[in-house]
């Protein structure tokens, strides 16, 4: 019974490569629709299109994988598979923003207010020298 490695949702872009990764799939996956990248260390199928609609990647064993899409199914062999997901959004949602110190806020507010007038710009230039 094949095991599902990754089920994409929406359009997935297929990128062929000549280097170590012969095929890279970019798209959203999971319930939250996070950006995922799935790279195969093997040759891409010759008839694989540039974009797929909601494909599912299954592990068949012995370095064989199956990409199942609404259009059809592709089989490929790869020495390894690399899965990565974009974690920046959930990471920064979990961390509260750092509050800016009052002295720094007052400094920049003053500098920007001075930069808004000719006299203020002249004063800033004189202080810079």
Instruction: Kindly report, residue by residue over 50-60, the tens digit of the pLDDT.
Output: 999 999 999 99
Q: If pLDDT is split at 50, 70 and 90, which confidence band does 110 have?
A: very high
Residues 35 and 82 in one domain: yes
For residues 111, 115, 116, 120, the Cα torsion angle rounded to the nearest 10 degrees is 100
Q: Which of 46, 50, 40 is nearest to 15 (CA)?
A: 50
Residues 119 and 74 in one domain: no
Residues 57 and 102 in one domain: no
Average pLDDT value for residue range 40-52: 90
Which element (helix H / strand E) includes 103?
Answer: helix 102-115
Domain count, the chain: 2
In which domain, by residue range, is 109 found? 98-128
Residues 118 and 67 in one domain: no
Residues 55 and 104 in one domain: no
Residues 82 and 123 in one domain: no
Residues 112 and 50 in one domain: no
Give residue 67's pLDDT. Answer: 94
Residues 43 and 76 in one domain: yes
> How much of the chain exceeds pLDDT 90, in percent?
65
The first and second tokens of residue 29, run together, are 């996956």
């Amino acid at each position: 019974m094949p095991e599902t490695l990754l089920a994409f949702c929406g359009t997935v872009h297929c990128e062929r490569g000549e280097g170590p990764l012969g095929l890279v799939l970019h798209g959203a996956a999971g319930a939250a629709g996070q950006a995922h990248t799935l790279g195969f260390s093997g040759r891409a199928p010759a008839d694989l299109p540039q974009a797929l609609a909601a494909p599912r990647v299954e592990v068949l064993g012995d370095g064989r994988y199956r990409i199942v899409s609404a259009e059809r199914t592709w089989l490929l062999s790869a020495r390894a598979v690399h899965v990565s997901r974009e974690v920046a959004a959930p990471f920064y949602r979990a961390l509260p923003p750092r509050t800016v110190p009052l002295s720094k806020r007052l400094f920049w507010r003053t500098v920007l207010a001075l930069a808004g007038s000719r006299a203020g710009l002249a004063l800033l230039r004189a202080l810079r020298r």
